Structure 1
């Protein structure tokens, strides 16, 4: 049985990060569906779950490696940008006690200065614009 499946999967794309995300999304929607009592909404969610699962299996068994690779790269690009945003915000929240973060009025670059220094002249490291702010 194991050899049969291994031979069957030869030349097929297989499972990647995007496929994992789709399956987890489908299970999450199924869990949410348990708490919905409106029949039409439950039907819509169950159809959506079926579409997501069918697409996930289609991607897994596909032989078009190039297209599946592009889809996975798109997903990873979106995932990493969201992940980077939240890690940057978490980092800013941790530094909020000791530093104040300003944005350059010219280019928008984030500039970190120590708190409690009074009015200071801040020079942007990117565009060399100087502006005065209270830290």
Structure 2
């Protein structure tokens, strides 16, 4: 058993290995295989096999620079999506606690707490005062 492990380690030397994109592709292939059990379409299984082959090709590739660049693009894409949801969640949380009004003078957004009745709002940018209901 130990000899097989050493042979595998020698085989993987100089190869790219698993990364976040590879794990995502493997998980996608697994999900497609499971979906293929219910959908009963050969195309789903064919796509799952293709995705799995791409994942293994990336793992065993010796072109480390190119695989690294692919993974970096995937990481940036994932970050952009996560950041969009994070901003949406933050705005939702803020809208439950605060009203956001625009200053009629300069258009600056001003955040005021909800439930305070009619209040006089002072714009810190242009020093305009206006009254709104919070």
**Paired residues, number:** 125
- What secondary structure does 1:13 align onto? coil
Q: What's the RMSD between the two structures over aligned residues? A: 3.1
Deviation of 1:92 (Å):
2.2
**Match for residue 18 of structure 2?**
15
TM-score, scaled relative to structure 1: 0.74
Gap change, CA 1:91 and 1:13, over 3 Å in 2: same
Runs of 5+ consecutive residues of structure 2 not aligned to the other structure: none
Deviation of 1:96 (Å):
2.4
- What secondary structure does 2:38 align onto? coil
1:32 aligns with 2:31: no
CA distance in 2, matches of 1:124, 1:52: 55
**Runs of 4+, deviation exceeding 6 Å:** 119-122
Runs of 5+ consecutive residues of structure 1 not aligned to the other structure: none
